[in-house]
Structure 1
Amino acid sequence: MSRPVPTLRGWVVGAAGVVLLVAAGWAGRVDLLFGGLLLTIAPLVAMAAVALDRPWLSVARTYSPDTVEVGEEVQVRLDVRNQSGRATASMSWVDTVPAGFARLAFRALPSLASGQSVTLRYSERAARRGAYLLGPLTVARTDPFGLARGGYGVGESKVLLVTPRVRALAGSGDDEARGEGTDPELVRHSIPSTDEVIPRDYRAGDPLRRVQWRATARAGRLMVRQEEQLSNPEAWLLLDTLRAHAGGAEPFERAVELVASIGSHLLDVGYQLGVHETGERQLAGSYELPGGDQLLVGQLAAIEQVREPGGDIAGRFAASLRATRSGVPVFLILVDGDPQLAAEFAPLRRYAAPAIAFLMTSSAAAARELLERAGWVCVEADGRTDAAAAWSLAMQAQQPAGGPRLAGAADVRP
């Protein structure tokens, strides 16, 4: 509860009481003394009444949708019920929101009879990703004479998860939904033994592009192709999370958005995704459908830059790549293009097909030279380049050599 304070009327009444007390002392009149005491004490009594006469309310808080992307609108619903045995006075309300959200103004809360409830609604947008606590609800009331005002915290706070934006990347459109396009071609290339198509029952989370209509017609229920799940092709991402390598908050935010977009795209076209971090581990590290895309984006909502390195990350990353049966797609997302970091990962090019490095700053000439000399495709993704544009640049930069294709782009270097 916030501390009760006099209203403007309360200050005026109190000041009038002080004036009467001074006049009573000067004139020696008892009636002025009595009036002065009454007016001076009245705001204090009103403040005590407001503090003690607390409304007993419960609040049920829901969000629609439960999770939102950066910049999307969330609808907040508050179901407020009077739990006391008597009606509440007319009050006003405002919800508590953290920094980064638009500040709300107080709105009228009608009087509620015992057991009666009312639904309050408002909308908000978050400018940055993160896990935010909204609430508790604050209700404010005045005494019957309008001399004092107090506020009360009602209900509990609840977390709202704001995830990074997931951009639609080239190659994830209608062609892939029909099982065509070049992403499935790369899936087949990754594991050559996927010629046999085995239908199975549809499960929640399966992409519609896997629906096998002939088997569906025969079985009378949705059936999907299982070749990608049997082949289990892999793709790998590395995100630079060390604060020492971070060129400010904005490049890191763009890097997180790029990981969310590329990771969701690769999962959608049939890959099992592995993710490494240069700093201490914050992500699960391995994702697959169904549900892997939501898990990845949800964990990226709360990922932060850290100061402690994650040990021999280059060695662990190399071990993961060596365990695969063939060259796999590998994507490096380097926040400030640290040359030392680039030198550690440049030799991993021989395990990757394709090998693409995204540099989140335009001042990474040394790192770019090291990586390109080892055969990496490098793309600068600074503040003028969003995730979709960076992906398109990477696809255009691949050199044709008859190798596997990714997302409708040119062939990858051998």
Structure 2
Amino acid sequence: MRGVTARGYGVAVAAIALLTIGFQFGYPDLAVLGVAAVLAAGTAVVFALWRPTLKVDRLADPDRVARGDPATMRLTVHNASRFRAASLVAVDRCGRREVPVPLLRLRPGKDTTETYPVPTERRGVVPIGPLLVRRSDPLGLIELSRGYGGTTTVWVHPRIHLLRAVPAGMARSLDGRIDKVPHGTITFDSLREYVVGDELRRVHWRSSAKVGELMVREQLDTSEPTIVVLLDDRKQAHPDPETFETACEAAASIIAAAVREDLPIGLHLVSADRTGPYLDVLTEVALGTGELTPKVRHLRTQRLGDTLVFLTGPGGRGDLGEVGALRGPYPVVIAGLFGDRDAAPVTAGNGMIVIEAEDGIEFAAAWDGVRGW
């Protein structure tokens, strides 16, 4: 909201000077000019302060979209005034740009609808609104801007690339072996002698015939395989912000694949974990500062899953050894290294799988090519 323009201040000063000189020294012509300046200023105030009665409704379609996909904003402006038509200059704020909305001769009780595309070239939250109505008097002495309607947001998620392969996870059996299981479920573990109260449907009749007494299947409820994604959001890990965008796309693709396969998954950031839907978290996250060592220590002590995926940039190459040391509590450790293909190939120890890629498409192809999760 602006106010009195430079021209308006000039007219006000001139009015005071003309009236003072005209009345004090007896110059009626100057006094007349001073009165005219005062009338012009008063008329400008009345003209600019008139506030139209507008109702604004907006609808984002869709309000959550992948980066690069189309999204539109439908804006409806209704003139709720009873007598006066509205001919105004209005703009709708859409992120960092302003979209002109024509409101020419909008009659009382009528409405107009404007549809425009929402920029989705960059990942992030795009704030939209309010509708700014700018009014100025014909002489340009006063200019006012007022906001109408509420605001809304469009969430531009990272691109999701199809991952056909998903780590099945690994669960430990009671005797210490590590067995791959597709899902958390009831699975066979061993046989034991029948005890009064056991269900007959659990009797293993073939083994019972060989042993000569009833043998019962002992079953084990294996824990569901859980994927833990650790996204490196440190500035030092991503000298080029585009590598961080690729890391976000990789994280979103892994999350989408896990959801498709109905596998539990957790998303963690090096700087600080955030709550909310994972794709929304990936939309809001930005590069910052943080320490990797405390996060690695937390993952080691808590053991949040059995498959750990570490996504980082060129600056995180030197940290692969520290993350690879989690191979003990996490049977499968995968590292995604983005934007550093010109450097020497990574030779990670401890059985850690390292995927080097330049973009999300290359990462998806390399991910599906991994054998022996």
With normalisation by structure 1, the TM-score equals 0.65
Indicate how the Cα distance of structure 1 residues 302 and 54 shifts in structure 2: closer, same or farther if over 3 A, else same.
Answer: same
Aligned match of 2:162 in 165, 168, 171?
168
Aligned to 2:148: 154
Larger Rg: 2
Aligned to 2:283: 301
Aligned match of 1:107 in 102, 111, 115?
102
Structure with bigger strand share is 2
Consecutive unaligned residues in structure 2, runs of 5 or more: 171-178, 188-221
Deviations 1:334-389 (A, max 9, x none): 233435532321122345565321112317958933xx2222222223xxx32121
Aligned to 1:407: none
Tell me the amino acid that sits aligned with residue 349 of structure 1: R
Deviations 1:35-88 (A, max 9, x none): 745764464234212332111222222211121222233211222233444323
Instruction: Determine if contact 1:334/1:359 at 8 Å carries over to the other structure.
Output: yes
Aligned to 2:48: 51
Aligned to 1:236: 228
Structure with bigger helix share is 1
Tell me the amino acid that sits aligned with residue 313 of structure 2: V
Tell me the amino acid that sits aligned with residue 132 of structure 1: V
Once the two structures are aligned, what percentage of the paired residues are identical? 24
Please show how residues 148-297 of structure 1 align to structure 2 within 5 Å.
150-169=144-163, 171=164, 189-191=180-182, 232-283=224-275, 295-297=277-279
Instruction: Determine if contact 1:336/1:364 at 8 Å carries over to the other structure.
Output: no
User: How far off is 1:296 after superposition?
Assistant: 1.7
User: How far off is 1:297 after superposition?
Assistant: 1.0
Instruction: Determine if contact 2:48/2:142 at 8 Å carries over to the other structure.
Output: no
Aligned to 1:375: 351
Tell me the amino acid that sits aligned with residue 124 of structure 2: G
**CA distance in 1: counterparts of 2:229 and 2:361, whole angstroms:** 16
User: How far off is 1:95 after superposition?
Assistant: 0.3
**CA distance in 2: counterparts of 1:42 and 1:254, whole angstroms:** 62
2:123 matches 1:123: no
Aligned match of 1:80 in 68, 77, 83?
77
Indicate how the Cα distance of structure 1 residues 316 and 296 shifts in structure 2: closer, same or farther if over 3 A, else same.
Answer: same
Aligned to 1:318: 300
**CA distance in 2: counterparts of 1:312 and 1:367, whole angstroms:** 27
Instruction: Determine if contact 1:236/1:330 at 8 Å carries over to the other structure.
Output: yes
With normalisation by structure 2, the TM-score equals 0.71
* Structure 2 SS opposite 1:151: strand
* Structure 2 SS opposite 1:300: helix
**CA distance in 1: counterparts of 2:332 and 2:342, whole angstroms:** 21
Deviations 1:117-146 (A, max 9, x none): 333322221332222321110123454788
**CA distance in 2: counterparts of 1:185 and 1:277, whole angstroms:** 23
Please show how residues 349-388 of structure 1 align to structure 2 within 5 Å.
349-350=327-328, 352=330, 354-362=332-340, 368-369=346-347, 372-381=348-357, 385-388=358-361
Indicate how the Cα distance of structure 1 residues 43 and 248 shifts in structure 2: closer, same or farther if over 3 A, else same.
Answer: farther
Tell me the amino acid that sits aligned with residue 251 of structure 1: T
Indicate how the Cα distance of structure 1 residues 108 and 342 shifts in structure 2: closer, same or farther if over 3 A, else same.
Answer: same
Aligned to 2:201: none
Aligned to 2:364: 391
Instruction: Determine if contact 2:317/2:337 at 8 Å carries over to the other structure.
Output: no
User: How far off is 1:159 after superposition?
Assistant: 2.3
Consecutive unaligned residues in structure 1, runs of 5 or more: 172-181, 197-229, 285-294, 399-410
Tell me the amino acid that sits aligned with residue 289 of structure 2: R
* Structure 2 SS opposite 1:156: coil
* Structure 1 SS opposite 2:273: coil
Deviations 1:80-129 (A, max 9, x none): 23344432331122101232xx542453443231x443333222213322
**CA distance in 2: counterparts of 1:122 and 1:4, whole angstroms:** 32
2:92 matches 1:95: yes
User: How far off is 1:151 after superposition?
Assistant: 3.0
**CA distance in 2: counterparts of 1:334 and 1:195, whole angstroms:** 37
**CA distance in 2: counterparts of 1:259 and 1:107, whole angstroms:** 42
**CA distance in 1: counterparts of 2:83 and 2:368, whole angstroms:** 68
RMSD between superposed Cα atoms in Å: 4.0
**CA distance in 1: counterparts of 2:229 and 2:140, whole angstroms:** 62
User: How far off is 1:245 after superposition?
Assistant: 3.2
How many aligned residue pairs are there? 324
